[in-house]
Structure 1
Amino acid sequence: MAHHPLQRLASPSRQLSLLLHVAGIASFSASFKFLFNWETPISSSFGGHFQFLTIIGLSLSLGTFVVGALADVTLSSQLFALKNILSVCSAPLEVLISILYWGLCAIDKTLVVPPDLALDFLPDFGFHAAPALFLATDLLVLSPPWTIHGYSALALSESLAFLYWFWVEYCFSRNGWYPYPIFELLNTWQRALLFTFSASLMTGSTMLLKWTYGKINGIEEFKKEAVGNPAGIKRE
């Protein structure tokens, strides 16, 4: 199957593309196996582990790579297109999760993880770094260029951020506590600012991925569009 002329490596394909997607599925599934075998008070609360943005992102990443693997096996252009649509949400979200998690951990890890729920390095890496690495690799070498521009990326990021905030507040109304300790330290307006900042950061991660795509693939137009041209990318 011929791939997009601006795409570095063949995908969908039953070779490297399938190998990457299967490796990602194995990593994400191992994280879920660890999660569901890990008994904590959160496990039996309303919303369970899906109160965490990390787990929502991991679910979206798993879905993206399952569709990608099916596209590789069947060489289906429709499934490949669906994988790329899902990637527009999952890749920037995973980059955002990695930046927020490791950034806050560098300041004070108890802002995001209660001391009694601290993870060893390997599962911590599996939840908070591996998905971003897998999704970014898939985008940069095995996907056509994204056509989403800055305004659309911001609208998507704001929508996801505030949907998650509403979900967190609903879970709080049922459980009486927030999944992340940092939320307990902030009032309503401060949480609004945090989610607005996170949406802006996710928009920035979308543009950063587009810029990196242009850099790696030697496409100057995409680099310029990512840093300042809201008109969007046109496919060749």
Structure 2
Amino acid sequence: MARHRLQRLEAPSRTLSMLLHIAGILSFTASFKFLDQWETPISSAYGGHYQFLTIIGLALAQITFVVGLLADITLSPMLFKAKNTLSTFSAPLEILITILYWGLCAIDKSLVFPPDLQLDFLPDFGFHAAPGIMLALDLLLLSPPWTIEAYSATVLSMSLAIVYWFWVEWCGQQNGWYPYPIFELLSTWQRALLFISSASLMTGSTMLLKWLYGKLNGIERFQKEAITNPAGFHTKGE
């Protein structure tokens, strides 16, 4: 399979691409294994651990990398395209999770975790940093330029925000409490504003990834579009 002329390293491949995808899958699987053994009130609550955006993002990262590994093994253009399509959603989501989590932790970690449920560094890193790092590396080094436009990215981000908002509210009604302590401190409309702001941040993370792609691969036009033309991300005909 011929490599896209703007793609930095060969992928799909049975070398570096396969190694990255295996490393990611092992990391994500270890996080899920930790989750299965971590007994908390969330475990038996309605929605379980999938009340957390972190776990939803982790599941999407796992699916993306499994499809990527299958593409590496088979060298299938169809599976490689599927991996890249999944990445346009999972990579910005994981960057959003990383920014939100560590940003809130810098303010007050009890906003995202009750004091009696704090994580040690290694599992904390596995849940809230490793997926974003792995997906960013996959995009920047082993993927062709994204074809998603900023308008589509905004619609996708807003759709996720709305769906997750309703999901959290529904679980909150069933359980009588919210998964993240910060939600307990906010009114309904304040939570809505938080979700809308997060959707905007996810769109911004898409633009950031595009800028980084242009920077790393020496594509000045991508860097300019990410800053001056947010409607960009059009690579048709590239």
Residue 21 of structure 2 aligns with an amino acid whose one-letter code is H
Partner of 2:234: 233
Residue 176 of structure 2 aligns with an amino acid whose one-letter code is G
TM-score (norm 1): 0.98
Partner of 1:15: 15
**What does 1:56-135 correspond to in 2, within 5 Å?**
56-135=56-135
Q: SS at 1:110's partner residue?
A: helix
- 1:10-43 CA-to-partner distances (Å, cap 9, x unmatched) read 0000000000000000000000000001111110
Q: CA deviation at 1:232?
A: 3.7
- 1:145-193 CA-to-partner distances (Å, cap 9, x unmatched) read 0121221111111111111111101111111100000000000110011
Structure 1 CA distance, aligned partners of 2:232 and 2:167? Answer: 33
Partner of 1:157: 157
Q: SS at 1:171's partner residue?
A: helix
Partner of 2:40: 40
Partner of 1:53: 53
1:150–1:226 contact (8 Å) kept in structure 2: no
Residue 123 of structure 1 aligns with an amino acid whose one-letter code is P
Q: SS at 1:11's partner residue?
A: coil
> Number of residues paired by the alignment?
236
- 1:33-66 CA-to-partner distances (Å, cap 9, x unmatched) read 0000111111000100000000000000000000
User: Unaligned stretches of 5+ in structure 1?
Assistant: none
1:222–1:233 contact (8 Å) kept in structure 2: no
2:210–2:233 contact (8 Å) kept in structure 1: no
User: Unaligned stretches of 5+ in structure 2?
Assistant: none
2:146–2:233 contact (8 Å) kept in structure 1: no
1:6–1:217 contact (8 Å) kept in structure 2: yes
Structure 2 CA distance, aligned partners of 1:191 and 1:206? Answer: 23
Moved more, 16-25 or 225-234: 225-234
2:12–2:71 contact (8 Å) kept in structure 1: yes
Structure 1 CA distance, aligned partners of 2:93 and 2:200? Answer: 11
TM-score (norm 2): 0.98
Q: SS at 2:148's partner residue?
A: coil
Structure 2 CA distance, aligned partners of 1:212 and 1:48? Answer: 35
Residue 82 of structure 2 aligns with an amino acid whose one-letter code is L
1:210–1:226 contact (8 Å) kept in structure 2: yes
Partner of 1:224: 224
Moved more, 47-56 or 220-229: 220-229
Q: SS at 2:42's partner residue?
A: helix
Residue 176 of structure 1 aligns with an amino acid whose one-letter code is G
Partner of 1:194: 194
Cα RMSD after superposing both structures: 0.8
Structure 2 CA distance, aligned partners of 1:222 and 1:124? Answer: 33
Residue 88 of structure 1 aligns with an amino acid whose one-letter code is T
Structure 2 CA distance, aligned partners of 1:2 and 1:153? Answer: 27
